[in-house]
Amino acid sequence: MVESLFENMLIVLKTEGEAQEKAIKEVSHKLQVLEEGLNKFYPDCGQIHEENVGVLDFVFLSLFGGHKIHEEVLGITVIDLEKTPLVYSWLKALVKLPFVKEALPPQEKLVGFLKFVRGNALKSSAA
């Protein structure tokens, strides 16, 4: 599932039109499956503390820690409070942790980087 989410998020970043829409739907579907699993097995996942952060938390952060940047660069909402409230609360709890805040680069740098990557990818596909 993680590999599929990663691959589809790259497609969302590097494409537009029908290919991007298909990847967005796939990401949304996978997030819904994750939401259902969290609801069943970890209903209190929004209660994260530094001492109980695990590998899955880091993987999730690497994929979606910059979801607000994705919104700014791509104009889409990936993590939606209404559609996936547990996923949303889990992510919010993770990004509030002090060591995560310290490790995240400034938002403007990430926005610039993603715009650069997206622009180059779109130019390459048009050529």
Every domain of the chain and the residues it spans: 2-126
- Judge contact between 115 and 73, C-beta under 8 A: yes
Q: What is the pLDDT of residues 30-47, one digit of tens each?
A: 999 999 998 888 777 667
Three-class SS state of 77:
coil
Supply φ then ψ for residue 47, to 5 degrees. Answer: -100, 80
Q: Is the pTM of this model over 0.85?
A: no
Q: Cite the DSSP H helix spans in the chain.
A: 2-14, 18-41, 55-64, 67-74, 85-95, 98-103, 107-126
CB 15 within 8 A of CB 121: yes
pLDDT recorded at residue 31: 93
Helices 107-126 and 67-74, packing angle to 10 deg:
50
Q: Which of the four pLDDT bands, split at 50, 70 and 90, describes residue 84?
A: very high
User: What fold characterizes domain 2-126?
Assistant: Glutathione S-transferase Yfyf (Class Pi); Chain A, domain 2 (1.20.1050)
Q: What single-letter amino acid sits at 24?
A: I
Q: Six-digit token pair at 61?
A: 């952060």
